[in-house]
Chain A
Amino acid sequence: MIDLIISPFVEFEFMQRALFGCLLLSINGSLIGVFLLLKRMSLSGDAIAHAILPGAATGYFFAGLNVLAMTVGGLIAGVLVAFLSGITARKTNTNEDSTLASYYLCSLALGVLIISMKGGSVDLLHVLFGSILALDNDTLYLLYFNSALCLLGFCCCYRFLVMDCSDSVFFKGLSRYSGYSHYLFLFLLVFNLVAGFHALGTLMAVGVTVLPAAIAKYWSNRIESMLLIAFVVAVMGALLGLLSSYYYRLPSSSAIVLWLGVFFLLSVLLGSQGGVLRSLKSKAELNEVLS
């Protein structure tokens, strides 16, 4: 059994690289994901992942499959959309979800426009789906840097972020830095998605960010333990996903996200915090007491 788990990683370097990449992504994915969840912005993550498209496409057309160019392009597009929607929402007193939806749709349309204007040269979908099985050194450095930056950001501003996430109105009254912590978080989110998109593709990168946090929510209501659970779950999903891709010929990135999906369904049923079975049981107990 242990041999079955370890042997693919011993034999093949690409499996090691894939697992290592997933590990790095799990660190910042779980961090960002939990705070996204607390801020009730899980779907915004998806929207911003799409907003990256025109930047990455432009970078690709200028420099080919160059990690740096696509990262910078994606960062610029993602940050622009995230910040514009944040600023517009705060200045015009509208909800951030509607401004973000509008900006990201424009950005997505612009991306499609750029791609089709340049002609369908190399299959850009391939590029946008990322390839966890072919992580080269450049991409791994990027993931490294992203994790380091993310950890540093959270170390410095953990308190601010927690306050901003749990009670942003209170925090606004308390400190004039409230806005900055939100923008710092948005920047880390965009960077995380851009890095994730190199490894797993735009769509699947959101999966490893949002799903572990959603799972953790069913097992704990303390931020620290949620972070830990999310990280462990993300690593487990990556490991099982890679192994099932190895043994059952499944496409790797979807296998990883689907394993996380399985964990999520199990958590919905069995979770100690509001899982279906647990709430049925407590309801039954309550009825017993009442009768």
Chain B
Amino acid sequence: MKFPCKIVGLSLAFLCSSVAVAADKLSVVASFSVLGDITQELGGDKIALTTLVGANQDSHVYKPTPFDVQTLAKADLIVINGLSFEGWITRLEESSGFKGLRVVASKGANVIELHEEEHPGEEHDDKNEHAKHEEHEEHKEGDHQESADHQEHDEHHHGDQDPHAWHSLANIRVYINNISSGLIEADSANKAYYQANKVAYLAKVDALENKLAAKVATVPVAKRQVIISHDAFGYLGRDYSFRFLAPVGLNTQMKPSAADVAQLIRQVKAQNIKALFVENVSDDRLIKQIGRETGAKLGGHLYSDALSAESEPAPSYLKMMEHNIDTLIDELQKTL
């Protein structure tokens, strides 16, 4: 009789200790590197963060490993982008038995609608809905029920909205608010700490926004035309009046036809576009071919769906935004 008791005792002790470790730091999972960076900035040393899709990896084609499932099962909080960006997340959550809190970072962000002409009525509704969300959020931070509602809404609108909303600094404030409220809801003991981090981070965003606006202003709007290997930059385009042309659609998995490539080449020639850019997560052979054919120059790497490794130019969200704008503007200035 003694022996089983020992085992039970030991395993109980073990369980308690693991609970103690978990209680020490909030265990947070972020879906991809950009959210990972923002969450780390906000959570500081009070959270233990795991990022599912790491630096220089493509979220569109991510396949969860058993290790990821295990991490998620033990997590207190998961931060995802939403807007159907992580198509795999619902299944992953279900299969892992995740019971923690889910934060949809883009909730309430000002989202670009695609195919607007197809559902004019729906789009109108949607904007109202978003405005309501934003209002709501300021009064009642991180309402769980609300977040579930919003998720259903997202799934209903599968693929109708451009998910790359983090490329807008205005939206990133919404992301920061959402993630910060999530952290506070999951770990209210450290509320003051999280809020202080949030204020500091928002100040950095403000500083960067001024800097970038000044930089972009050096190139006239009519000259802000570039070609990029997949259109993930709709938001940069909206905020800074860039015109981006791309041979592949929104998803990196689509294959371009000869018609698409031909159309793009005609456009580049007709509008005398001089700058071509490549992303860190896509196949650049096609862009290079277009460069050869039109005489436009290859202008360096932009970062879209993933941050870079530590040694490269975009290891954090703020650096990524700065690097992208710097690269774009430097190249465009050469053609002025």
Residues of A within 8 A of B (CB): 8, 11-15, 17-18, 65, 116, 119-123, 125-127, 129, 131, 133-136, 242, 245-252
Contacts and interface: CB of A to CB of B under 8 A. Distances in A.
Interface stretch (B135-143, B183-191, B213-221, B282-290): B282-290
The 7 closest A-B pairs by CB, nearest first: A134-B285, A245-B258, A246-B258, A134-B289, A126-B283, A134-B286, A249-B259
B101 interface: no
Interface stretch (B1-9, B107-115, B233-241, B260-268): B260-268
A12 B283 contact: no
Contact of B61 (A65, A123, A251): A123
Contact of A252 (B54, B58, B257, B290): B257
B58 A14 contact: no
B283 A133 contact: no
A123 B63 CA distance: 11
Contact of B262 (A11, A65, A129, A134): A11
A12 B259 contact: no
A121 B261 contact: no
A123 B288 CA distance: 17
A116 B259 contact: no
Contacts of B63: 116, 120
Given A8-B262, A120-B62, A123-B61, A249 B281 contact: no
A219 B260 CA distance: 37
B57 A121 contact: yes
Nearest to B280: A122
B258 A242 contact: yes
Interface residues of B, number: 32
A120 B65 CA distance: 11
Interface string B241-262: 0000000000011011111111
Contacts of A17: 289
Contacts of B286: 131, 133-134
Contacts of A127: 283
Contacts of A14: 258, 261-262, 265, 289-290, 293
Contacts of B288: 134, 136
Nearest to A65: B285
Contacts of A18: 258
Contacts of B252: 123, 126
B158 interface: no
Contacts of A250: 257
Contact of B289 (A120, A136, A246): A136
26 contacts: A8-B258, A12-B293, A13-B293, A14-B261, A14-B289, A17-B289, A116-B63, A116-B65, A120-B53, A120-B57, A120-B58, A120-B62, A122-B281, A122-B282, A123-B61, A127-B283, A131-B286, A133-B261, A136-B288, A136-B289, A242-B258, A245-B258, A246-B259, A246-B262, A248-B259, A249-B259
Contacts of A119: 54, 57
A131 B285 CA distance: 8
A249 B253 CA distance: 16
Nearest to B255: A251
B157 to A, nearest CB: 25
A279 to B, nearest CB: 39
Residue of B56, B62, B256, B258 contacting most chain A CB atoms (<10 Å): B258
Contacts of A13: 292-293
Contacts of B53: 120
B258 A131 contact: no
B57 A133 contact: no
A13 B258 CA distance: 12
Contacts of B265: 12, 14
B60 interface: yes
Contact of B58 (A65, A123, A129): A123
B257 A129 contact: no
A11 B284 CA distance: 22
Contacts of B61: 120, 123, 125
B259 A123 contact: no
A60 B273 CA distance: 31
A9 B63 CA distance: 40
Given A14-B293, A134-B285, A121 B58 contact: yes
B281 A252 contact: no
Residue of A12, A18, A134, A252 contacting most chain B CB atoms (<10 Å): A134
A243 to B, nearest CB: 8
Given A14-B265, A121-B56, 5 more contacts: A12-B293, A116-B63, A121-B57, A123-B281, A126-B282
Contacts of A12: 261-262, 265, 293
B58 A122 contact: yes
A120 B282 CA distance: 12
Contact of A65 (B65, B257, B283, B289): B283
A242 B286 CA distance: 16
B256 A123 contact: no
Given A120-B62, A125-B61, A247 B285 contact: no
